Amino acid sequence: MFLERFDFAAMYKEHKKKTIFKGKSAEDWDAKSKDMAPRMQRSEYVDDFIAGMDIAGDEVVLDIGCGPGTLAIPLAKKVKHVIAIDFSRKMLDELEAYASQEGIENITTHHIGWEDDWSALGDVDIVVASRSMEVGDMSHALEKMSTIAKKACYLTYKVGGSYVDMEIVDYIGKQIITKPDYWYIPLILYTQGYLAKVDYIETKGSIQSQSEEQFIASVSWSLGGLNVQEEKKAREYYHSHVVDKDLHPKPFHWAFISWSCS
């Protein structure tokens, strides 16, 4: 036990308000859906995520922030039913098209998000939130997951506080406040009476560097925009590091956090 009580939920909310890494809107993800869908299918990340789950095969799984079906599609092949929710309608359109292509009929989609009423979703055994925890109130989100899940919850959250290599951030001179790091989550769960397990999944990351324009667009998307000087420095970095030294952006590490609700 702690000698003094720390309010990790309040600390998270205060940190979240200050970070430059703000959650994207439904319209932002709508615009990104066509580009994301092909890249999200059949990845090692998905294999690692599902391998970390305890699945018997008869469960109903709720996938929060399901995107284009990154987890929902492969999970539907392993469990009884998947309920997929997302606040981006076009992401759900991509999921439904992907499911139809795969001949999958045990997925139900709902155009709702974290702040909506989930009471109509029905009974749920397992809840997953894959890279979709950009919430203002982490304590409320975790409690909402734990309350609806009969068996267990699984989520992933970015390690390190930045979606862009700090080496790149420092080079371009961007002043940032990093996002809340993943350790808030097991600490908040501890205060709620849950003992979380933490593991890690490595991915290539979201900063694309196959071309200069792709690199600039990826950095700008992740940092919420670049001014003229920052973009100039980003282009300079691309040529001096990515092209000349073949130093592509570092891989991401995601904390894979799970806890039992039974």
Distance separating alpha carbons of residues 24 and 116, to the nearest angstrom: 17
What is the helix (H) or strand (E) element at residue 100, kind and residue range? helix 89-102
pLDDT on residue 1: 56
What's the token pair of residue 233?
């420095």
Residue 229 confidence (pLDDT) above 90: yes
What is the helix (H) or strand (E) element at residue 44, kind and residue range? helix 44-51
Main-chain dihedrals φ then ψ at residue 220, nearest 5 degrees? -65, -45
0.85 exceeded by pTM: yes
Between residues 76 and 40, the one the model is more confident about: 76
DSSP state of 186: H
Instruction: Please report, for the chain, the start and end positions of each structural domain, with discontinuous segments joined by +.
Output: 8-163+178-206+250-260
Distance separating alpha carbons of residues 144 and 164, to the nearest angstrom: 30
Render pLDDT for 110-149 as a digit per residue (tens, 0 to 9): 999 999 999 999 999 999 999 999 999 999 999 999 999 9
Q: Which class is domain 8-163+178-206+250-260? A: alpha beta
Between residues 258 and 20, the one the model is more confident about: 258
pLDDT on residue 24: 60
pLDDT bracket for residue 47 (50, 70, 90): very high
